[in-house]
Amino acid sequence: MIGFCKEMIKRVCARIPSEYFVRASAISIINNQFSNVKDIKTFQNKDELWDFAVQNYYEKRNSITYVEFGVFEGSSIKYFAKQNNNEHSVFIGLDSFEGLPSDWGPMPKGTFDTNGLTPKNE
């Protein structure tokens, strides 16, 4: 009976594409080796992430140098600048304000173009 079951399992498995076994082994590895991934904090939006970063990793009174590449309309650099009250802190935003130079994933060339207009200092 055991021999019959083994033979049936072999025949069934031979009909299953190998990619299914690869996926199953990957899921097993993820579940066993990276089980703590499900415990990682997630955020509903960028504001929740930024607030968490400020509350847990950002010392408002310490002097910092903050450099942001690709500021677009400046919302994030303005947010972090408002959170820091040290007069010696430096906030630098770098951007061409011409948008993406080429397609990037689902975003086409020119996404984030501000027609050369820089964000207003507030």
Residue 29 Cα distances to 17, 19, 21, 39, 108, angstroms: 19, 15, 12, 17, 36
pLDDT-based confidence at 4, cuts 50/70/90? confident
Based on the structure, what is the number of domains in the chain?
2
Average pLDDT over residues 88-107: 93
Same domain for 99 and 65:
yes
Better-predicted residue by pLDDT, 105 or 14: 105
pTM above 0.75, yes or no: no
Which domain, by its residues, includes 51? 41-122
Could you tell me if 62 and 10 lie in one domain? no
What was the pLDDT predicted at 122?
A: 67
CA 63/CA 46 separation, integer angstroms: 24
Could you tell me if 84 and 95 lie in one domain? yes
Task: Decide if 42 contacts 66 (C-beta within 8 A).
Answer: no
Same structural domain, 22 and 61: no
Question: Percent of the chain scored above 70 by pLDDT?
Answer: 98
Average pLDDT over residues 53-59: 80
